[in-house]
Amino acid sequence: METRLLGTTDIAISPIILGTWQAGKKGWVNIDDETVIHAMQAALEAGITTFDTAEIYGDGYSETLVGKALANRRERVVIATKVFPHHLRFNQVMEACEQSLRRLQTEVIDLYQIHWPSGSFGSEVVPIGETMAALNALKDQGKIRAIGVSNFSRAQLEEAAQHGRIDSLQPPYSLFWRGVEVDQQPYCIDHCLTIMAYSSLAQGLLTGKFDAAHRFPDADIRSKNKLFRPPLYNTALAALAELRPIAHRHRTTIGNLALAWLLAQPQTTAIVGVRNALQAQENAKAATLHLSPQDLEDMDAISRTVTDYVDTDPVMWNFGGE
């Protein structure tokens, strides 16, 4: 798999990135540790060299599994993790990084990201300059190689960039969720930030495997996803039916078609979660799929039959209920 450089760094990342939210188990159901570890190792063998996790995923459990799966393969992989907004004071960032390093069984984190802006989820409002000072210190100490942010608006990006180099933005981005294109994407293009799209398959919706009657258990995070709620869900299913002939023409899955569309967007990579090795191997194939200008135009039009009805709130989930 051809690699791309992360932002302005010399860090080579795979365009398909393995996301490990599921590995933390919290918010997901029917996740098996050994199966997930095998999936990570299979992903690496298939050419996916970049792995994304976070301290909040299962309260460190995801990082622990990433460390267990990849520790003896460390020289072959790029590891990205994130610090939660409850740990954005200078000393908290420094301690959170140490804990992540320990769980990941590594001496350096390739990309360390602010997971959500300060103040999110009832966290203390911390000046971005203080948080960035800690991240810059970690970079100077050689404990992290690059700094990124996740779920930041353009204004928040611009403010953070006043205090140090930001090399990536991690937003929700898929054929069915395109808010990042309005403000953040032009900024990323102008300032050479890599866009690491999460929920790139709309948490599985873009695989086409769910029907109109499907319901997720309350313990599954997708039960709160706006895209899985009517009437938007029904609109998405209709769009999937229109995407299916394009996928057939390319002899690929709808999921890989959606990933290939993302990879064709400016400076964009795709984070994809998996439950097993077969899914990891299948997702890797998306990096070799080339779409024509007409394919991209047709997919854009189909996409907008869904995204035109998505609200402007960038958060994909109704965490507070209805």
Can you give the pLDDT at residue 320?
Answer: 61
Does residue 36 register a pLDDT over 70?
Answer: yes
Residues with Cβ within 8 Å of 44's Cβ and at least 6 positions away in sequence, in order, are: 70, 73, 76, 77
Range 134-144 average pLDDT: 98
> Whole-prediction pTM value?
0.95
What confidence tier does 26 reach under pLDDT thresholds 50, 70, 90? confident
Q: What is the DSSP string of 167-181?
A: -EEE-B-BTTB-GGG
3-class DSSP state for residue 243? Answer: helix
Does residue 322 register a pLDDT over 80?
Answer: no
3-class DSSP state for residue 114? Answer: strand
Digit-coded pLDDT (tens) for 53-108: 999 999 999 999 999 999 999 999 999 999 999 999 999 999 999 999 999 999 99
Does residue 207 register a pLDDT over 90?
Answer: yes
Does residue 120 register a pLDDT over 50?
Answer: yes
Domain residue ranges of the chain, discontinuous segments joined by +:
4-208+253-290
Can you give the pLDDT at residue 321?
Answer: 46
What confidence tier does 223 reach under pLDDT thresholds 50, 70, 90? confident
3-class DSSP state for residue 315? Answer: coil
Can you give the pLDDT at residue 311?
Answer: 83
- Exposure string of 160-170, with b = 16+ CB inside 10 Å and e = fewer, is bbebebbbbbb
Average model confidence (pLDDT) for the chain? 95
Nearest-angstrom CA–CA distance, 288 and 281:
12
Range 192-218 average pLDDT: 92
Helix residue ranges per DSSP H, 141-271: 154-161, 184-191, 232-249, 254-263
Can you give the pLDDT at residue 313?
Answer: 80
Catalytic residues: 57
Is the domain covering 4-208+253-290 a CATH 3.20.20.100 domain? yes
